[in-house]
């Protein structure tokens, strides 16, 4: 149950698009269409942003989109806004109802 | 409104025990699997355990297997985590989260557990 690998930090200017990668193995990310993404502001609980790799829960901006290629999933934030500055975590089902989170990525809006 | 509220955190000595609770409201609790996730200070998220809606199935991360026990009382709309043999590395904010489509939504506000002598 090793953590999925994410870049420690990603930055962008307002209005730009950024992409966060999430690399696992064929036993987790590559083996299931069950990658989810979470946004966490300091001192707050995580918030679901995408589920099943590409689906947005009700109320989440369509500026957030997801994709997957092989063992790597990605979260793209388009039209970057100041409020998007937060930590982002991916998570994948890893078989037998076990889940594994990514290492987390700090997004900075410069 | 769907809401999860954790309680039961606090300061405990190494080797001690603690029971966390999570009160659910605003949805048909028995129809959903539930989960515990923790976050050590300044660190990332770690999935710990999940339990099915019927309480028939439960799963644990290797880091807590044999020490932590997940349970639920559907009549009380409550989720629990019994934590035994606590270690300093168990110090974290513990969140409960509803499971749905392989994801966790929503999350409670978290409860802090500090393991220290």
Q: Residue A32: pLDDT band by 50, 70, 90 thresholds?
A: very high
Q: What percentage of chain A exceeds 90 in pLDDT?
A: 96
**Inter-chain residue contact A101 with B100, CB threshold 8 Å:** no
Q: Residue B54: pLDDT band by 50, 70, 90 thresholds?
A: confident
* Cβ contact A97:B57 at 8 Å: yes
> What is the pLDDT, as a whole number, of residue A11?
97
* Mean pLDDT, range B37-47, rounded to an integer: 98
Task: Quick: pLDDT tens for B78-102.
Answer: 999 999 999 999 999 999 999 999 9
For residue B62, count other CB atoms closer than 10 A to its CB: 8
Q: Tell me: pLDDT of A1 over 80.
A: no
Task: Quick: pLDDT tens for A81-98.
Answer: 999 999 999 999 999 889
A45 interfaces chain B, CB cutoff of 8 Å? yes
> What is the pLDDT, as a whole number, of residue A96?
85
Name the residue of chain B whose CA is nearest to A104's CA: B44
> What is the pLDDT, as a whole number, of residue B55?
72
Q: Residue B109: pLDDT band by 50, 70, 90 thresholds?
A: very high
Q: How far apart are CA A28 and CA B90, in angstroms?
A: 25
Q: Residue B56: pLDDT band by 50, 70, 90 thresholds?
A: confident
> What is the pLDDT, as a whole number, of residue A85?
98
> What is the pLDDT, as a whole number, of residue B80?
98
> What is the pLDDT, as a whole number, of residue A49?
98
Please give the helix or strand (H or E) that residue B73 lies within, else none. Answer: strand B68-73
Q: How far apart are CA B45 and CA B31, in angstroms?
A: 25
**Inter-chain residue contact B103 with A51, CB threshold 8 Å:** yes
Whether the bond between B106 and the residue before it is cis, its omega within 30 degrees of 0, is yes
Residues 6+ apart with CB under 8 A from B88: B14, B115, B116
A57 interfaces chain B, CB cutoff of 8 Å? yes
| Residue B23 backbone phi and psi in degrees, to 5 | -95, 125
Q: How far apart are CA A28 and CA A26, in angstroms?
A: 6
Name the residue of chain A whose CA is nearest to B60's CA: A98
> What is the pLDDT, as a whole number, of residue A108?
98
Strands A9-12 and A105-109 turn out to be parallel
> What is the pLDDT, as a whole number, of residue A97?
87
**Inter-chain residue contact B107 with A47, CB threshold 8 Å:** yes
As a whole number, the mean pLDDT across chain A is 97
**Inter-chain residue contact A98 with B47, CB threshold 8 Å:** yes
Task: Quick: pLDDT tens for A4-29.
Answer: 999 999 999 999 999 999 999 999 99
Interface test with B, best of A32, A44, A47, A48 (most B CBs within 10 A): A48
Strand-pair partners of A91 = A36, A101
Chain B residues with CB within 8 Å of chain A CB? 35, 37, 44-47, 50, 57, 59, 61-63, 95, 100-110
């Amino acid at each position: 149950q090793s953590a999925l690998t994410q870049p420690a930090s990603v930055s962008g200017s307002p209005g730009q698009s950024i992409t966060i990668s999430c690399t696992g193995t064929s036993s987790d990310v590559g083996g299931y269409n069950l990658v989810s993404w979470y946004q966490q502001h300091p001192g707050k609980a995580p918030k679901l942003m995408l589920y099943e790799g590409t689906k947005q829960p009700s109320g989440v901006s369509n500026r957030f989109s997801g994709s997957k290629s092989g063992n790597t999933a990605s979260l793209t934030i388009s039209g970057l806004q100041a409020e998007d500055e937060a930590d982002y975590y991916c998570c994948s089902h890893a078989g037998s109802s076990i889940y594994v989170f990514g290492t987390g990525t700090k997004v900075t809006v410069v | 409104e769907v809401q999860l509220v954790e309680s039961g955190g606090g300061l405990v000595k190494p080797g001690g025990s603690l029971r966390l609770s999570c009160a659910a409201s605003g949805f048909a609790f028995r129809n959903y699997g539930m989960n515990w996730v923790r976050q050590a200070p300044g660190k990332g998220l770690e999935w710990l355990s999940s339990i099915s809606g019927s309480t028939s199935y439960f799963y644990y991360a290797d880091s807590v297997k044999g020490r932590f026990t997940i349970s639920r009382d559907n009549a009380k709309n409550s989720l629990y985590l019994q934590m035994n043999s606590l270690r300093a590395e168990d110090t974290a904010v513990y969140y409960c989260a509803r499971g749905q489509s392989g994801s966790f939504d929503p999350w409670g506000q978290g409860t802090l557990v500090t393991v220290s002598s």
